[in-house]
Chains A and B, each alone.
Chain A
Amino acid sequence: MSIDKELREELHQVADSMHFPPDLYGRVRQSYQHYMNEKRGKSPMKKRMLAGIVAVAILIPSAAFAASYLADDIFGSSTDIEQHGVSQEEYQAIEGMLQAAKGKLTEDEFKEYMELTKQIVQLKLKITDENGVKHEEKLTKEEQQQFEQLASKLAPYFEKINGTAKP
């Protein structure tokens, strides 16, 4: 037998008698899954970072919104009110007044105050034209009564805010 043939035979015999570690499959499989995740760009770390960025992108503008005008709660926005002849400066003045109220009233009081103000403003807007001129005759009798009620309810709050309330 030539050495070539003998080499071939022996190498194949030895190869056939080799044992393959069974746990190697699990290891190769793990590497495979890892590679696939990497390839899809869906590694858990990347996912989390993306979620973080999205969350920040949403939170920043909404935080800015939350710190916006109290007056917007009542009028909608400054552009709405401009249609009734209220200028930006006047709007700022109203805002200042509302901020002062927030500082001086308790939380519950302020809630009530905002609610009443909202209602009275609705009525006021109804009778005010685009030049800021009032036409009280536009109100019905019921609405006039409502207006007076609101005004009387609001009076103690105004006193408190303006510091004229008795201790």
Chain B
Amino acid sequence: MNDKELLPWLEKATLGDESAFQLVYQATHQDVYRTVAFLVYNKQDIEDIVNEVYTRMWRSFHTYDPNRPFRYWLHGITVRQVQDWKRKAWRRIRLFERNRQMTCEQFEWTDKAVLQSEMQHELFSLVRQLSYKLRVVVILRYFHDYALEEIADMLQIPVGTVKSRHHLALKELRKRFEMTGGDAYVH
């Protein structure tokens, strides 16, 4: 379903039409879930954030400009919600607990299928090892195909910063990829 078709349903959903809500959820939840799951690894946290993204969607629908792509707005909300969560998590979790979490984080991801695909997808496993700041740029650039300017707007940081993070991320990936023996994709 494209943006134009979705818009009337979104309006109805924000007015309390539950069947419209269901339709909007069906049309968007995979996209939202995937985006969050690329940025956060704990299954419970992913679900919490997805839930918050939808709450935010109803609350701030009045700020959405219908002349711009809906997905762009939605991804903006999603990324900001993830960042909010990260800020809160930092305050909430004490340092040693956090260290413990980080060590088991690797095994705690969404499900076995993803873990398996990580084994099959060497490059993807390297993306997962990038720091959050670099990773979010990679996901928005290569999963959602946004221009660097759009990413800057979404993350509310200067374009120059996005460019340098993008550059750094690719450099990291190339370097590690060489180390693991993948030689075909270096260029």
Query: A residues touching B (Cβ–Cβ < 8 Å)?
Result: 1-4, 6-8, 10-15, 17-21, 24-25, 27-29, 31-33, 35-36, 39-40
Shortest beta-carbon contacts, A-B, top 4: A7-B142, A11-B143, A10-B121, A10-B124
- Chain B 150-178 interface mask (CB, 8 Å, partner A; 1/0): 00000000000000000000100110010
Cα A4 to Cα B185 in complex, Å, equals: 9
CB contacts (< 8 Å) of B177 on chain A: these are: 3
Selected contact of A11 from candidates B29, B33, B124, CB within 8 Å: B124
A10 touches B33 (CB 8 A): no
Q: A6-B185, A18-B34 are in contact. List 18 more A-B contacts (CB 8 A).
A: A3-B174, A3-B185, A6-B123, A7-B123, A10-B127, A11-B127, A11-B139, A14-B124, A17-B114, A18-B33, A19-B110, A19-B111, A20-B29, A20-B33, A28-B25, A28-B54, A29-B25, A39-B16
Query: B residues touching A (Cβ–Cβ < 8 Å)?
Result: 13, 16, 18, 21-22, 25, 29-30, 33-34, 37-38, 43, 47, 50-51, 54-55, 58-59, 110-111, 113-114, 116-118, 121, 123-124, 127, 138-139, 142-143, 145, 170, 173-174, 177, 184-187
Cα A64 to Cα B123 in complex, Å, equals: 82
Q: A3, A29, A31, A36: which has the most chain B beta carbons within 10 Å?
A: A3
B142 touches A8 (CB 8 A): yes
